[in-house]
Amino acid sequence: MENIKEENFFFPKSNNIRPTEDRIKEAIFSIVNDKINGSICLDLFSGSGQIAIELFSRGAKFVYLNDLSQDHLDTIYENIKLVGEEKNSKISRKDYPKAIKTFKEESLDIIYLDPPFDFNYEHNVIKIIEDYKILKKGGIIILETNLKIMPEFNSLKATIHKTYSDINIYIFERFV
């Protein structure tokens, strides 16, 4: 991956995107860094693609990026091209249930979820991920949300919860 400074990245024209703050991104990735090298990842609500780029910079093997907004997808394409990771990524435009259902069982190591703050379906997204078993055993889901929830799931355990102002970070691990 080319070493590009973040200020050179593209951002969507629309103002309905909320990029992850640098301090939060650094905190998240310092926690999960040992799981990234060689991993297959999904960034389900990609926005600008900055999380995928961070995953690549830390050694991810392949990243799937998904978003519904064409404006966001155009930006994602530009950013992935900027860092030279076109061959190690796949970009799609699907609603989250359809995107999740395209993966085979136990095909992903890391799933990053940062839905819009007015989304309120985080529990449903994680439940579908769990039902389709797309996360490998020992794999993790990173959830960035404004909701103060700690749902319970059959095969996933919330191992970490951190709060940064109005943002909550949950890390779930698949243990079954």
CA dihedral for 159, 120, 146, 58, sign (positive or negative): positive
* pLDDT at residue 158 is higher than 80: yes
pTM for this predicted structure: 0.93
The percent of residues in the chain predicted with pLDDT above 70, rounded, is 93
pLDDT (mean) for 95-108: 95
Quick one: pLDDT at residue 23? 93
pLDDT value of residue 28 = 97
Q: What are the tokens at 86?
A: 């076109």
Condensed to tens digits (0 to 9), the pLDDT of residues 11-35 reads 887 766 778 888 999 999 999 999 9
Q: 137 pLDDT exceeds 80?
A: yes
Beta strands in 54-134 (DSSP E): 62-66, 89-92, 108-113
What domains are there in the chain, each with its CATH number?
20-174 (3.40.50.150)
CA nearest to 93, candidates 111, 73, 122: 73
Q: Which residues contact 100 (CB under 8 A, 6 or more apart)?
A: 44, 125, 128, 129, 132, 134
Other C-beta atoms closer than 10 Å to the C-beta of 36 total 20
Query: 34, exposed or middle or buried, with CB in 10 Å at 0-12, 13-18, 19+?
Result: exposed
Q: Which residue has the tokens 């996933």?
A: 156
Q: Indicate if the pLDDT at residue 39 is higher than 90.
A: yes
